[in-house]
Structure 1
Amino acid sequence: MPNSKSNTVPTAARIEPVDKLTSSIESLSEENLSLLCELDRKGFLIGKDEILDSYKKRLNNILNDAAELKNNLALNADFNILGRINISESDRISEKLSIKAKSIVNATYAFEPFMADAFYAKKGLGFFIGGCAITFDSGLSVILLRNSFRNKARWLFYSAKELVAHELCHSVRAPLNDNPIEEFFAYSVSPSPLRRYLGNCFRTGYDALLLLAPIFLLMVITFLKVFLVSSLDTLFFWILIFIYPSFLLIRNHFTFSTFRKAKKILEKFIPYKRSACPILFRCSYDEISAISKLRNIKEFNSFIKDKSETLLRWRVIKARFLQKLI
């Protein structure tokens, strides 16, 4: 199959001003695939089973919240988020950093987010948290970086552009609500092979809790053995601390393996190999798993045909990346 230096998008007027985007949403229809593709390119992905009406409603809600955020930042020296984090217009990250982060996600997943509000948080982030994305009920996301990045490009093992790109992946892919492989896509923009491979080990806060709990329990048991009950056997607790890490690694291995198989299938059958990761980024984990099990071009074509006939999201995927396939 031939390679391509860029992912082809059907011809469409570029969406830039907010008022133009608003008017475009009002006239949006399922037949207007060029506009749907352009919205996808701007980071407005269609949800897992989302239909056009709910998609339009969500986009309007995002724009309304974005306008409200802009007004609040203009009127208030400090605007409060979540009751504990204050941001102001002066805390907004530089355009240079924003462009660098956008170029990373665009090269990896073929989107350049229209909504990419990111700020330095003076306080309120956890001690070990470099950044996070806060997604409001409307779907609008705001990215927060710890204040350490304001005057330096790196903090611990992370660069500012990597963290912004990481959180952009989360905010853009949020409509899919797809936890099993969410962190995998976000960590895939990292320059570190270790983070790219192990990033998806921790899918929820419970994973970290269940990893640390046996360690703290062992510390307590060891304290009791040393100072109170010298006959206490700690072997079981030493074994216990390795059980959950082993589970995380095994689960992560199978997830990573499923992704690699699906990627190979796509690279084998689609017109442009570079489109494989952008396509999978827009898939649910169940769909990625299904793609990984396809055995030949007939099954692949049947899968794409079925999905594109039943889901608006897949009609856009097909129009953007698979025009020459069927």
Structure 2
Amino acid sequence: MLRYILISIAVLLINSTLIFAQGNYEWSSAKNGEGFNSFLLRNNVSPDKDLAKFKEVNKGRFTKNGDLIAGEKYEIPSRFRLLQASILGKDHQNVEQVDNSMSGAVLYLVAGHGGPDPGAVGTISGKKIAEDEYAYDIVLRMGEELLSRGAKVHFIIKDPNDGIRDDAYLKPDHDERCYPSQKIPRKHTRRLKQRAAAINILARNEKKTTYQRLVILHLDSRSKGNSTDVYFYHHSASKEGKILALSLQQKMKDKYAKFQPNRGYNGTIGTRRLYMLQTTTPPSVFIELGNINNKKDQLRFLKSENRQALAIWLCEGIKENYLKIKKK
């Protein structure tokens, strides 16, 4: 089998609308109605860190009110652009292209919480385990699998030094960033608005793509005696989101029937008025992977092979959903 090495994750994540590159700078044209945040995010530049410097470099190219001019070309110095070595980790930097079965699909993957918010916290062998670390590891594994099938993947929450990890205990930290490299706010509503805005900006730039899907991963927090199967939420008005949730649920049923035939699977599908489901434009599914406080559920994500299985099963469900829609 021919082995093709995908271009770096950095190139996949950087929007390809740049006009030309020369020396240590590049140029990009502003779109009609585009503001600074949208323009900079589209060009993989952090508004938080580099807006003032961007305005200084492009002095004289704005309206009298200081706004962007549609059609005007703006300089993007290379020192502004984010250095994006593969976030998958040193052992996963090159992704083998298995096939092109998902070529044309665009996926937005979001690991819940992050930065100052670890999400739900449990304990194992006297150590604290944080929801955001395990959701993030599974997101990375999903991303690797989807890339290997030819899909385009946008990782919305990223950690600069935590690639795919095989440890049972994933040490909590607080250095996650929101695409492209925004510091994650402490306040809950601001965090959600930040990542929803990043997704919607990216989605607008993928508007010619017929298949875009958003997948959000979380771990639940319940009493220790309450075990749950992987379950799903979608927007009540989203037919596409519901169809994707059904595909993922069916895949879980099939896998449990195959590998644990006497266990059964009781993961549910429902609707909830969750901010991320209500305010993001791509059809979306919100996934709860299990109860971080329950010992049986903890085995589902403490073992790296189980995290890998979850990632592959979810990706298989996404792939089947994509292929069915592609045939129509």
Compare the two structures and name the one with the higher strand fraction.
2
Higher relative CO (Cα under 8 Å, sequence separation at least 6) belongs to 1
Q: Same fold (TM over 0.5)?
A: no
When Rg is computed on C-alpha atoms for both structures, the one with the higher figure is 1
TM-score class normalised by the smaller sequence: under 0.3
